[in-house]
Amino acid sequence: MRVVSLMRLGDEETRLREQFPEVTFEFYKHPAELPKETQKEMDVLISYHSAVNAAFIEAAPNLKWIAWYATGVNSLPLDLLQKRGIKLTNGKGVHAQQLSEWLFAYILDDFKQLKAVYNEQKDRQFNGKRMSKTLDNATILFLGTGVIPQRAAQIAKVFGMRTIGLNTSGHSAPHFDETYRLADRQQWYQQADVVVNVLPETKETYHLLALDDFKAMDPETLFINIGRGTVVSTDVLVEALKEKIIRAAYLDVFEVEPLPADSPLYDLDNAYLTSHITGNGADNRVKATQIFKNNFAHFLNNKTLIENVVDLNKGY
């Protein structure tokens, strides 16, 4: 049994070897360092590197399982994995805390007008009359009701917000006051002060949000995207913001990444942009390795995986 990781895992490397002494573990700093012979023989792959494409999989005929350390699996050739019978797990849950913290950093930055406040500080102005909106009683609508939006909705509830979640079937989910079908989304937008996209990238979510979606929202809406940038085309997003169809947006993900320096998004005065960093966390690899260990113990015993298994048809 050969397990290959396309990144170094620090102290976790020793722990893996101790816990599974009969297994050969190899850790490479970069996919380019992986010997062709090893690629041919490896049984299990740990990675979230974009180098893992169809050609890479073709050159790994013995591969049985990819332990993907990110949550989004859209860069992988899912059809090929399915054809080859290669299992796939992801890092779902590992990033829920970080993404939720960033989400509330964005919302509070907006609601408390922090940028205007600190401009006053630069001007040495004391403006005791400033009044800011409260999260209390505001409504937040999530596109998606999975592990990440559930964690975020839990925090939203404690702040006193009303939580609406949209998913394929409209099924209920923890920490959501109401859930509806994603297909009916345009009839619920008006209720929301904040609309958050947390959907994965799939065939169904690619360019899901059209200009009509933004037109169906309240003009005061704050839109936040911490899911995948491809849920809306840059053109639509720029028009919605430039024409003030909605009030403002905080965006961490983009249709094309890295975001080109000449992107029209940079020219807007109501778009706040971060660099796909809301999932970054110092202990992400430790947490993802814990999921790997739980799965690997079962995999060695009976070839089954118990956590974070990706449905290759759905893509999440």
Binding site for a copy of itself (CB under 8 A): 97-98, 101-102, 104-105, 108-109, 111-112, 114-115, 117-118, 120-121, 124-132, 134-136, 154-155, 158-160, 257-259, 261, 263, 266, 272-277, 280-282
Q: At what angle do helices 11-19 and 284-302 cross, to 10 degrees?
A: 20
| Shortest Cβ 107–a copy of itself spacing (Å) | 9
| Shortest Cβ 29–a copy of itself spacing (Å) | 15
| Shortest Cβ 260–a copy of itself spacing (Å) | 8
Determine the Cα–Cα distance for residues 185 and 42; give it in Å rounded to an integer. 45
Residue 294, H or E segment: helix 284-302
How far out from the chain centre does Cα 36 lie?
A: 32
| Shortest Cβ 277–a copy of itself spacing (Å) | 5
| Shortest Cβ 138–a copy of itself spacing (Å) | 11
β-bridge partners, 196: 142, 224
Contact between 120 and 113 under an 8 Å Cβ cutoff? The reply is no
| Shortest Cβ 153–a copy of itself spacing (Å) | 11
Closest to a copy of itself by CB, 27 or 111? 111
Closest to a copy of itself by CB, 25 or 142? 142
Q: Which of 155, 183, 278, 299 is nearest to 228 (CA)?
A: 278
Closest to a copy of itself by CB, 183 or 266? 266
Closest to a copy of itself by CB, 35 or 160? 160
Q: Which residues contact 294 (CB under 8 A, 6 or more apart)?
A: 306, 307
Give SS3 for 219: coil
Determine the Cα–Cα distance for residues 284 and 230; give it in Å rounded to an integer. 24
Determine the Cα–Cα distance for residues 43 and 34; give it in Å rounded to an integer. 14
Determine the Cα–Cα distance for residues 295 and 304; give it in Å rounded to an integer. 8
Give SS3 for 307: coil
One-letter amino acid of 263: S
Closest to a copy of itself by CB, 55 or 158? 158
Contact between 310 and 316 under an 8 Å Cβ cutoff? The reply is yes
Closest to a copy of itself by CB, 250 or 316? 250
Closest to a copy of itself by CB, 73 or 152? 152
| Shortest Cβ 10–a copy of itself spacing (Å) | 14
Q: Which of 168, 165, 169 is nearest to 148 (CA)?
A: 165
Closest to a copy of itself by CB, 230 or 295? 230
| Shortest Cβ 110–a copy of itself spacing (Å) | 10
